[in-house]
Structure 1
Amino acid sequence: MVSIRRFFYDAYSKCVNGSIFDGLKMDMVSFAMDLLASNSPDEQLIGARILRQFAMSERYSDDTLQKIGINLPVIERLVEMLNWKDPQEEEIRQSAAEILSKLAGKKQNSLRVAGIPGAMESISSLLQTHRNPSSAPDEICEKKIIFDQGNYGYWTFNHLGLLILKKLARDHDNCGKIGNTRGLLPKIVDFTHAEDRLLKDENVTQSQILTVKRSLQLVKMLASTTGSTGSFSEVRFQSLALEENATERIGGTGGVLKGLFNIFFKQGMAGDQNHVKIAAGQALAMLTMDSKSNCHRILKLKVLEKLLGALEVPLLRVNAARILRNLCAFSGSECFNQLMGVRAAAPTVLKAIMSEENKLQEVMLGLAAHAHELVEILRKYKYPPIKVPRIRRFTIELAIWMMRDKETNVHIFKDLGMEKELEGVLETTSEIESFNIFSGTVGLNRHGTSMHSLVETALKLLEEQ
């Protein structure tokens, strides 16, 4: 009623003090937009309430959003209001967020919102999580979602922030801006984690469930973006996943590893769903990299036999070989007996080393070796292509293992000219061979041992005999 009285009072004043047509031309939406620009908190609140009411109205929404969408100063004002964190301005802030969530639903309007300097940072300010103050903004660390505290509705703002971002992410360029906004991706990822309290609480609100769902949808949209924007987002997400303790927390979350294996081994999936299996395999390979605890968890799942069988399946064998290699490399000596079954894969592995090329040959080299073929591979890949950047590293690692295992292998390698090939590797080593995990051509995780150290170790073994 206050808003309506104020509107008619202003209309009457314009008729009296100016022309009668000035009052007749006034409408509630234009009146509200004028009030937003005021310095008076009371007038700002009246303007925000009116715009929210009309923007949310099924009958008037389209016309209201059209008027707001062509008025850039109003959009800028609404974006600015997202940063207002004073409890006394909570309703203004919430109204601005709700109006922008509707405005972002139209493509042209979403581009205008995202094009405002600082818009993404303002939207990011709506998302609240507890973070370790000593951590960097782009790190995933111990965190806790902030539920409503006292009289302030943090959860409502989290919900609205993700809703706005989800609508903005429908545009390819906007995805790039979201990925480039400092500290925003870690916040989004934080909301994908459903804690025990959320899963078990019978009184959990639909809004809280929707927020988790919306964050997962948003991560999927950002990660699946094509082109350079998509590659960038993929690098950022994988970098977050590689952050210290992140793989341990993921692997330690109940049912995650088992669920990924169920997807990886699932039979009867439609052909257009093959990418899901591949993604599950890639995730498992990443989770077992340098993670002794995750390797132990996988061995407890008793999936070794299935992984060995997967080496025969063209769609699965690359990732199956990666997982098996990681299990052998990072499980520790106490799991030696459990991994004895990997020997059964020797014929399959050797066949792949001898007959396949590129990626399959590279990962199979991570499991076993054949002396003559190892030397031939070093000769063939004097300058490893981007597709198989680790093939020489795996070859040398296996040659070292074979020479340490049997003295006769040292003589075999000498006769085959291994020393000459290793010296050639020293002269042609590239930076990309120093990395363990890649996104496109970007290295994400460095090996603990450099290529030069590996080559020197191999040469030393050859010289000792």
Structure 2
Amino acid sequence: MVLGQGILYIVAGIFDIFSFILRRLLIRRAGFGGPSGVKYVNLYYAYVFDRCMEGAMLGPKKTNLIIFAMDYLKSNSPKMQLYGLKMLHNFLRKEPLRTMVILELTTYTKTVAFLINMLSWTSEEAKDIRSFAAKITAELAENLRVVPIPGAMQLIASLLDTVQGHNIKNPLLDTGSPETKQDNLIQQVGRNELTSPVLKWLKQMVLYCLIPRDEPTNMDEQNSHILRCWRKIAKHWSVPEEEPSTDQDLSPVQGMLILERLATFDLENCIEISRATGLISKIVEFTSNRTAMKNIGETHETLLKRSSLKLLARLASTKGKFGVTLRQKITEHLFLWSNLAEILDNRGSSQELRELTAELIRNFAMDGNVSNEIGHIPMIISRLMHAFLSQGASSSADSDQLLRMNAGQALALLAMESVNNCLVMLAEPGYVFIKELTIMIHSGRYRYIASSLLQNMCMHAQSELGNSDLKEISYITREVLEGIMDAEGTELEVLVGLSSQICNVVPDDFARELEHGQIKERFIKRLVNALNSNMIPTSHSPGIRRVIVEHVIYMMECNPGNADCFNKYLMMEALLKVERTTSRAENYRFFSGDAGLMEHSIPLSALVARAKELMGRG
């Protein structure tokens, strides 16, 4: 009897050793760390045992760590719920568990709904639960549609409310409270007591007693082969340390991260963001340098600003009619433009923040009304020009090039259909704008941005161009004409548009270049062929036929004799085809999805009629 008990104890001990090894292995593979990791695995073993006991011994219920964590998440115990959240959060940081968790959670809408509902738990006791629920939601947001979850967007938006603002009072609207000052005084006294020299000395004594200095070890012991082996084994089977919290643990940062990823994943998520009451205003407020938040550090403030700019840029790039409505809703915020101007003007703003701001302004500038509104804030145009034209902008670094590209594109859009914006750009001190643009036309990267800007300067600010400006424009005529010979699509549209304006502002120089270069007939033939090959307008270059017809008009207005050459290459027949196939789409400069942007004031049919009239006179 005693012998049997002894054998059982020995067998149990052997199994316990194997169990220890398996548990340590599971801790590492699951990404657990610290004492919590040991606790989770022990709970999992007990959980599996219970599941096995509930079913047949040979046919236990299927289970795994992810199902275990999800079951704990849905339990009635806050402690177990927190365990479940922490385990899921660990899994989401380690492949292939991450993919498996996302698949499991997104499959069960009720579990996701329960998870998002935890974001409304604002009590102090549920602080950790809410924090980990936000982290997990942020990881799922890249694959999540919130439309099936009632009230989900408002719950996510509630994360942005956890940062309390300064109690700023208006002397005309609010009454002061003497108790506040007294409370602040008491708190200050308390802080002084906590930082008193006596308390500091006591802390140092406690640390000295509890954490003694390391004694030097014996060299023979260090070099011992057995000791080295033992250290390797101990390191391999030890429990990893828990990962420390990061700068993104603050609830508003997590909230912005969730919103940003939701907007990137699905258009319907963008619609839900726009519908959530007051959410757009909260997002815009985070772009301000004069934030009213008090319990937040500089790092968190920068993270919030970056996230808000990225989210706004994503929302502003939404295509279609909904995108137009959404951009209008965002730009209705009264402090948006001043916030963006401050980011561009602030030397303390990082390169990334200025890149995002320039991108955001570019997206807004696609709408003509917004473009005019931006023009009334000269600081924005001034800072964009500095980013696009300054010597530092010529850096070869990718980040510098991205800022320069975003700024240039924003300026090009702002210049379209806006006399005021063109005049503001032309009057910007410190730059010879026209010369700068003509230099860029010789380079490949910004050639078409500069061409578009120069076209609009000629169109809307011709009266302000000096003789030196006109000379610079005439110098690039040959290069623009040669570029038209090979360009297609949007590039062809931009270059033909610039060429037509060169013909308009310096007609003699343009005609001389055609004649002396002996390319007049080749150029006219190219225009006719381009017109015939673009009889069906596309969303990528809806204005290509318009700029060609405008060019034909300018060439015949400056020299009626050009009509003979146009007739030689059957331009009239091409114009008749255009007349029969004009489309409403050609009245717009751009398309965002199915929405036309920046409508022209003169329809294409009127331009065709004018061109036919001039050819008839010739």
Q: How does 1:5-404 map to 2 (within 5 A)?
A: 62-63=86-87, 71=111, 74-75=114-115, 77-78=117-118, 81=120, 98=131, 100-107=133-140, 111=144, 116-124=149-157, 148=166, 160=251, 163-167=254-258, 169-170=260-261, 174-181=265-272, 182-183=274-275, 187=281, 190-191=284-285, 193-194=287-288, 197=290, 206=298, 208-219=301-312, 240-243=364-367, 244-246=369-371, 248-249=373-374, 252-254=378-380, 255-262=382-389, 266-270=393-397, 277-299=404-426, 300=428, 301-331=431-461, 333-335=463-465, 337=467, 339-340=469-470, 341-369=472-500, 371-404=524-557
Q: Which amino acid aligns with 1:285?
A: A
Indicate the percent of aligned positions where both proteins have the same amino acid. 25
Cα deviation, 1:218-259, whole Å, max 9, x if unaligned, reads 3466689xxxx8899987667744442455437633543224
Q: Which amino acid aligns with 2:612?
A: L
Shift of 1:76: 5.3
Preserved contact between residue 365 and residue 395 of structure 1 (Cα < 8 Å):
yes
Q: Which amino acid aligns with 1:306?
A: E
Comparing both chains, which one has the higher relative contact order based on Cα–Cα distances under 8 Å and sequence gaps of 6 or more? 2
- Find the residue that maps to 2:561 and give its secondary structure: helix
Preserved contact between residue 162 and residue 211 of structure 1 (Cα < 8 Å):
yes
Preserved contact between residue 291 and residue 330 of structure 1 (Cα < 8 Å):
yes
Partner of 2:503: none
CA 389–106 in structure 1, closer or farther in 2 if over 3 Å, else same: closer
Looking at structure 2, the residues matched to 252 and 127 of structure 1 have their Cα atoms a distance apart, in angstroms, of: 32
Looking at structure 1, the residues matched to 613 and 157 of structure 2 have their Cα atoms a distance apart, in angstroms, of: 55
Looking at structure 2, the residues matched to 348 and 314 of structure 1 have their Cα atoms a distance apart, in angstroms, of: 12
Looking at structure 2, the residues matched to 96 and 377 of structure 1 have their Cα atoms a distance apart, in angstroms, of: 64
- Find the residue that maps to 2:589 and give its secondary structure: strand
CA 452–91 in structure 1, closer or farther in 2 if over 3 Å, else same: farther
Q: Which amino acid aligns with 2:615?
A: L
Is residue 587 of structure 2 the alignment partner of residue 434 of structure 1?
Answer: yes
CA 294–213 in structure 1, closer or farther in 2 if over 3 Å, else same: same
Gaps of 5+ in 2: 1-70, 91-104, 170-249, 328-361, 501-522
Range with greater deviation from structure 2 (356-365 or 259-268): 259-268
CA 123–302 in structure 1, closer or farther in 2 if over 3 Å, else same: farther
Looking at structure 2, the residues matched to 293 and 76 of structure 1 have their Cα atoms a distance apart, in angstroms, of: 48
Shift of 1:172: 7.7
Cα deviation, 1:275-311, whole Å, max 9, x if unaligned, reads 6554443222112112223222322232322221221
Q: Which amino acid aligns with 2:374?
A: R
Looking at structure 2, the residues matched to 291 and 194 of structure 1 have their Cα atoms a distance apart, in angstroms, of: 28
Q: TM-score, with normalisation over the residues of structure 2? A: 0.50
Q: TM-score, with normalisation over the residues of structure 1? A: 0.64
Cα deviation, 1:168-203, whole Å, max 9, x if unaligned, reads 5446874534322235795477346436x569x999
Preserved contact between residue 157 and residue 255 of structure 2 (Cα < 8 Å):
no
Gaps of 5+ in 1: 1-28, 36-46, 83-88, 129-145, 152-158
Looking at structure 2, the residues matched to 265 and 394 of structure 1 have their Cα atoms a distance apart, in angstroms, of: 35
Shift of 1:355: 3.2
Shift of 1:427: 1.0
Shift of 1:96: 8.8
Q: Which amino acid aligns with 1:216?
A: L
